[in-house]
Amino acid sequence: MNSSKPLDLSARNAARARQAILTKPPGSLGQLEELACRFAAWQGRAQPEDLRPAITVFAADHGVTVEGVSAFPSAVTTEMVRNFANGGAAICVLARALDARLEVVDVGVAGDVAALPIVHAKVRPGSQNLAKQAAMSAVETEAALEAGRAAARRAVEAGANLLIAGDMGIGNTTASAALICRLTGAAPELVVGRGTGVDDAGLANKHRAVKTALARVAWENLSGLDTLSELGGLEIAAIAGFYLEGARLGVPSLVDGFIASAAALCAKTMEPSLHDWLLASHRSAESGHDLALKALQLPPLVDLGMRLGEGSGAAVCVPLLQLAVKLHNGMATFAEAGISGKSA
């Protein structure tokens, strides 16, 4: 069910051949050239269509917040979901600027958001405390994965050819740090960061929670699904499902920051070929994001010092990708412009 669609390598090669005859020195547009060729492979067209991004923000609460790991109370998850619904969050502004489809999915918010005009796919009202027990049962993790898959299907059915997943969940940088440590073998000291801006005491609490969680499962042979269940969160699992379904349908995902990369690592353990359908947007200011990107083998497009989440870092990169496609399609060839090619 999770197998990724094969890339269209003939379309990619045709796109590279076109790049070679456009009115510019070969390679002079740098990464923009290869980005256009990647979209050719994803779309199966030597000249890819303009990008139609769809942004889905998955929201859920985390039981680990009782360990004092966040600078904000859990109630902020509910309050921010309300802000999304009212159009006041950063990702709402970016979606409007990009004319992008925006959907908000409650996959595990602890508060009451039933009256809001969002997608209601609540698996349970927040995860368990991952420092003490599995964050989710296997059944709950599968349900969250399916919520993400369903969201990807809705986005693609609505016409999207580029997917962006965003996150909202107080405590989710702790869960993401635990996942990245487990899946990369990196020490918590290299991965755990300040998240929403915790003070030194909060940072010590985060280190303690992640170390305790990792020690709890240290001797277990965990599958990707098991790892998500033990150390993850409902919105993280949903993002993993979103990426997996996008790849199955043949639509690439632009990966956001720390939380999104943790989800991508989990998803890649379930389907290694997923890598071909992911593109990293930015390098987060959050500690450990570099380690996650290196494990994913995804170089980021930009580094703007962002650490907001919501899909915001990915959304900011869409105009750059759109320009790569437009340059590829709109430039004249040497023959069309009547310009002499490179001397022999």
> Could you give the residue numbers annotated as active site?
310
Q: Which two tokens stand for residue 116?
A: 């809001």
**Sequential DSSP letters for 154-201:** HHHHTT-SEEEEEEE-TTHHHHHHHHHHHHH---HHHH---TTT--HH
Helices assigned H by DSSP within the chain? 9-19, 31-43, 75-85, 90-98, 138-157, 172-184, 188-191, 200-216, 224-231, 234-249, 258-270, 289-296, 312-330, 334-337
What is the C-alpha separation between 15 and 33, in angstroms, rounded? Answer: 9
What is the C-alpha separation between 331 and 21, in angstroms, rounded? Answer: 10
Q: Which two tokens stand for residue 210?
A: 């992640």
Helix axes 138-157, 234-249, angle to 10 degrees: 50
